[in-house]
Structure 1
Amino acid sequence: MMNKKVTMRERLAVVLVILVLGSCGCGIANSQLSPGECNQERRLIENSCRPVAFGGQPSAGCCQLVRVAHVECVCPYVSPKLVALVGAGRLINLVKGCGRPVPPNFKCGSITTPP
């Protein structure tokens, strides 16, 4: 097993991936957010969901934010490096644990959910 040094930025990016998978196509409002609103949404998620980046389970507050998140705010941050670091399967299971369905074949950044 290879040991990887994971930076805080990469750990917080894990939170963003959880957000992305949680927000995919499930009745999210179609309103466009400003860049400032997107940044604020990402900061709220990062703060509320931080334990997930360290292997913990999502809190009720984290799950609530995941359920109302906007895809357009986080998909641009999903890179191949991030997906390789975290593992898409683990993230999908965490999102499902928040009570959020994950649609098949959903593409966001470097993640495509299984059929």
Structure 2
Amino acid sequence: MAASSTIRLFLVLAALLLVAVHQVCAQDCQEDIKGLIKECTIYVMKIGPKIPPSKGCCDVVKNANLECVCQHVTRKVEQLISIDKAVYVADSCGRPLPHGQKCGDITIP
């Protein structure tokens, strides 16, 4: 019986740890999104010329969980940003987006 209780306690703790890690990752991703919006918006908007990103934008890009960010791209965002410019910014910052990765409904060429 003691072994069964220990296993049950371990499973509960493991489940709680997974939930906590997921919440921390989601919060980190939200901070990444806020940083990208603040520092990089002007470089990825559909309107306007393609311009090299700032150091501040590149700092955010280099440290962002881009896979997580891509999972939060909505149709509204897709209407505002240029994937070509987003790929350019990521490349310029030394963090190219993987070909075939999906961001929202858009697949990186």
> Taking structure 1 as the reference length, what is the TM-score of the superposition?
0.54
Higher RCO (CA 8 Å, separation ≥ 6 residues):
1
CA–CA distance in structure 2, aligned partners of residues 81 and 99 of structure 1: 27
Deviations for 1:12-45, whole angstroms, at most 9, x for unmatched residues?
xxxxxxxxxxxxxxxxxxx856233332232223
Q: Unpaired runs of 5+ in structure 1?
A: 1-30
CA 1:51–1:71 in 2, change beyond 3 Å: closer, same or farther? closer
Which residue does 1:106 correspond to in 2?
101
CA 1:112–1:73 in 2, change beyond 3 Å: closer, same or farther? same
Q: Unpaired runs of 5+ in structure 2?
A: 1-20
Superposition RMSD in Å: 2.7
Which residue does 1:61 correspond to in 2?
56
Deviations for 1:54-105, whole angstroms, at most 9, x for unmatched residues?
6454211211210121135422332344334433222212221212223221
User: Larger Cα Rg: Structure 1 or Structure 2?
Assistant: 2
User: Which portions of structure 1, spanning 4 or more consecutive aligned residues, are displaced by more than 6 angstroms?
Assistant: none
Query: Is the partner of 2:87 in helix, strand or coil?
Result: helix
Which residue does 1:90 correspond to in 2?
85
